[in-house]
Amino acid sequence: MRQISLPSGYNCSFTAPVGLPVALSPLVTRVLAPNPGPFTFRGTGVYLVSAGVEVAVIDPGPLQDDHIAALLRAIGTRRVSHILITHTHSDHSQGADALKALTGAKTYGFGPQGAASTGEEADDTDFIPDVRLRDGDVIAGDGFTLSVLHTPGHASNHLCYGLDEARALFTGDTVMGWSSSVIAPPDGDMGAYLQSLKRLIARDDAMLYPTHGAPIAEPAAYMTALLAHRLAREAAILAARARGVMDVAGLVDEIYAGLDPVLRPAAALTVLAHLQKLERDGPG
């Protein structure tokens, strides 16, 4: 397995046309939403999974008229069989009800978050799935099969979807192609996130499709590097505390030197998540 060192292993050069379908494999097409930003990168990548007359839509993205119209053009004459949500942050799930109204398809997801997020992404508190999914559920479509994995950490209700026919995994924000994920208490949980990463590393996927950023063709190496990156942050926090730096603001100054001020609140929340994990579970 090739070793990948982060953050240099992040693909920050990824570009894609906004609003146009891009075929990534015989079963997977991506449509990029026009919502770039410091936490969404180039925008929300909406995935269409289809082998023919039916299509499943994964994370329909933001509620923007031009974006929903672009999705409908990409879907064309196919029937939408499923609208699948990885988690209820607005850049992932807010367009679901509009797409449901236009196509008649049911929405699928884990359910509401366990607590209000204080993170970088607005919560979509209005979204309630028509069908509540649980870990181990299987979604069968015309020519595709999606396995459901509950991967809490970034959000308590986060799901990943495994495309069995392609050994591919749609990772939402559990794994992103351009950055590590923000873990924002109270809904975000660092211990749960590390366990979710370990679970995904143990799988045999050949490709990851994150909602933000480029596909990842070396899943195990990439996620192992993500895990090592998180554990290195934890070790840095412990070392700083041993030197007497105890408060979150001081730890951010120590560990994230030169950080863009826009990203500082997210870094503070991630440090807080590390501290909560250390208090509850200890290091490692």
pLDDT single digits (tens) 177-235: 999 999 999 999 999 999 999 999 999 999 999 999 999 999 999 999 999 999 999 99
Residue 160 lies in a domain: yes
Whether residue 132 is found in the same domain as residue 181: yes
Q: Is 62 within 8 Å of 88 (Cβ atoms)?
A: no
pLDDT at 84: 98
Give Rg (Cα) of the chain: 18
How many whole angstroms separate alpha carbon 194 and alpha carbon 73? Answer: 38
Task: Answer yes or no: do 170 and 113 share one domain.
Answer: yes
Domain finish residue from 218, 244, 262: 218
Q: Is residue 116, in this structure, part of any structural domain at all?
A: yes
Give the three-class secondary structure for 115.
coil
Same domain for 204 and 90, yes or no, is: yes
- Shortest CA distance to 252 belongs to which of 181, 284, 260, 197? 260
Q: Do 152 and 259 sit in the same domain of this protein? A: no
Q: In this predicted structure, what is the pLDDT of residue 74?
A: 98
Looking at the structure, tell me whether residues 101 and 151 fall in a common domain: yes
In a domain, 176, yes or no: yes
The CATH number assigned to the domain holding 150 equals 3.60.15.10
Do residues 141 and 255 both lie within one domain?
no
Same domain, 110 and 177: yes
- Cis omega (within 30 of 0) for bond into 265: no
- Residues 91, 177 within the same domain: yes
- Is the domain of 109 the same as that of 180? yes
Range 260-281 average pLDDT: 93
Q: How many domains would you assign to the chain?
A: 2
Q: What residues have CB less than 8 Å from 279, skipping those under 6 apart?
A: none
Task: Name the amino acid, one letter, at 17.
Answer: P
* Residues 235, 200 share a domain: no
pLDDT band at 121 (very low <50, low <70, confident <90, very high): low
* Residue the block writes with tokens 């999606």: 146
Tell me 181's DSSP state.
P
Domain assignment of residue 54, yes or no = yes
Does residue 3 belong to any structural domain of this protein?
Answer: no
State percent of the chain over pLDDT 70: 94
Q: Where in the sequence is the domain holding 172, given as residue range(s)?
A: 21-218
Which structure tokens are listed for 49? 């999974």
- pTM for the whole thing? 0.94
What are the pLDDT digits (tens) for 127-165? 999 999 999 999 999 999 999 999 999 999 999 999 999
Q: Which of these, 184, 177, 131, lies nearest to 156 by C-alpha position?
A: 184
